[in-house]
A and B are shown apart, each in its own frame.
Chain A
């Protein structure tokens, strides 16, 4: 079928969007960016392709459904099992790599036995942890899930074991993460069905009825555009590359045609963009090369606290006030965080202070780009963080009065969406 692909290779996450010829999104894919950009782009694309097949499958079974079925729930369950199986195969590869790494480290052969025992015990405990619900396509990636749990679990070992296991992990994660693992959609879906709760068995025949057909549909894109921080490193010709500022603006405009200002807080770039009524950029500002004021700041804080990024927002929302954070620099803020905690301040309050600090930095940038105008759209991975959204709303009201603030669950995909629309428009014009 005719589809258009947009890929946004961000510094932290890589996103892919697949559009059908009417401009409707049929697939979304996201993964963490890794040292091999081609792998990151390819995994995001594969994710979007699987996601598209699930959309197409769902369209068919719903049309054929007969009695009302909670298809949203069925497909959520199916999707989480599908991702769990993918998670598991990467877990096994990492387990092998780490085991081998200890085996081949002759410098500390005396420790090998002790390390292997500690490692196997930890790996076994992690293996099935993410079976239900926690692995899904939009918020948690293998590396984050694994490393947060791993670090927390090995903390109980003695210092030497801990240090060596951290180093074993560091050595092993990159090569494993940079492997592309191919999965057969039909086969993996079959295996996912077998892991479904028995009570859903009634709908399996219907899913199986269309599975082969949907798996066989060609989803090779008619046109594709790459954008984002790493776009120049994609193996794409120049005509398949577009600036991320243009793509973000167009993606936001597609959802919210009345938008005039877009604030995108991404992993390593924060962008404040002013757009006209056609979604074209009139001015913009980007942060300098500093992690303060962009998503990586929160990522660093999460690492410092040994929690995952998605836990930060909810914790900060439970604060009763914001602890004053004096440092700008991310590393210093991390040290300040620990000082506050050691002095007995509630972690919720310290986190609230850190969230406020990042929004203040972003608003300085926004002011330089020309301020916020109606309608104001807030996008980027950080827009999924409820505490950040709260401070963005408060500061918008304080600085610019009552504006309509647009938020969208797809906000992290705005760049990829804009890119896909550029592809669609180009082919549309040729047709």
Chain B
């Protein structure tokens, strides 16, 4: 077995992917662990130890341990990859036909165009404001007293989405409270928020002139309401893009890191896997 491990440190989750890196790399196990204000390096250490024990492996059985995201903190690693490259690789693994990736993360949204398979050709990301990020969506759902997996289906029920402009991720609480007190139904509030997030991402897609098909990675890609809103916005913008959530979208960065780790390991050895 040629095991490689990818660790993606995000702002609210640490994601892990154990890969058997052969001719046809196989994703053996994926773990998403919530940080809950703990030190991500400690979280990583504990989860890796448990993973190895469960698999009856020792640390030295891992050919390559790669980090990505804010993973510079991870101590026992061989290499660190940038998020753009790992998300691209993690999505491409499942769908080699994709030409672009949109990573909808907790703090940033990134749009990536690919060349020669999973190589990053170009990318753009959101800037100095968390409006429209995953954290923003998480805040909104908390203000509404909903869990993140409840908001997608509710959004799809909306008949008359609320109109929202780009709002501050923190002050959105008041905007949501205002909407609630005006009697706007919850599905319409959520759909309005989804559309405002979608608009930002689609704007990035347009600026970067990405090509279809597009895989969506990151935690927000699981949100069926957001994906539907993105399709609407893409339609509005006149682009012809097919978008779909990548399998294991939340862990795409960790999967990509493990895969690039395997690639690098064998390249350094001078042999193909």
Contact = CB atoms under 8 A, between A and B. Distances in A.
Nearest to A344: B39
Contact of A342 (B73, B168, B169): B73
Nearest to B177: A35
A296 B107 contact: no
A304 B12 CA distance: 12
B36 A170 contact: no
Nearest to A290: B168
Nearest to A173: B145
Interface string A277-302: 00000000000011100001100100
Contacts of B39: 341-342
Given A167-B147, A233-B181, A290 B133 contact: no
A100 interface: no
A297 B128 CA distance: 15
Interface in B144-171: 145, 147, 167-171
A330 B170 contact: yes
Contacts of B174: 11, 229, 268
Interface string A18-54: 0000000000000000111100000000000000000
B36 A330 contact: no
A387 B128 CA distance: 26
B116 interface: no
Q: Give the interface centre of B34, B129, B178 by most chain A CB atoms within 10 Å.
A: B129
A120 interface: no
A162 B36 contact: yes
Dominant secondary structure at the B interface? loop
A342 B36 contact: no
Nearest to B10: A335
B36 A329 contact: no
Contact of A296 (B36, B133, B135, B170): B170
Given A159-B36, A290-B129, A342-B39, A331 B171 contact: no
12 contacts: A36-B181, A170-B145, A233-B178, A289-B171, A291-B170, A296-B171, A329-B130, A330-B170, A331-B133, A331-B169, A339-B70, A341-B39
- For the complex of A and B, the 10 pairs showing the least CB-CB separation, nearest first, are A331-B130, A291-B170, A171-B145, A170-B145, A35-B177, A330-B170, A342-B39, A335-B11, A329-B129, A331-B169
Interface of A: 11, 34-37, 155, 159, 162-163, 167, 170-171, 174, 229, 233, 268, 289-291, 296-297, 300, 304, 306, 327-332, 335, 338-339, 341-343
Given A330-B130, A342-B41, 19 more contacts: A11-B171, A36-B181, A155-B36, A163-B147, A170-B142, A170-B145, A229-B174, A289-B168, A290-B168, A291-B168, A291-B170, A291-B171, A300-B170, A328-B129, A331-B133, A335-B107, A338-B37, A342-B39, A343-B73
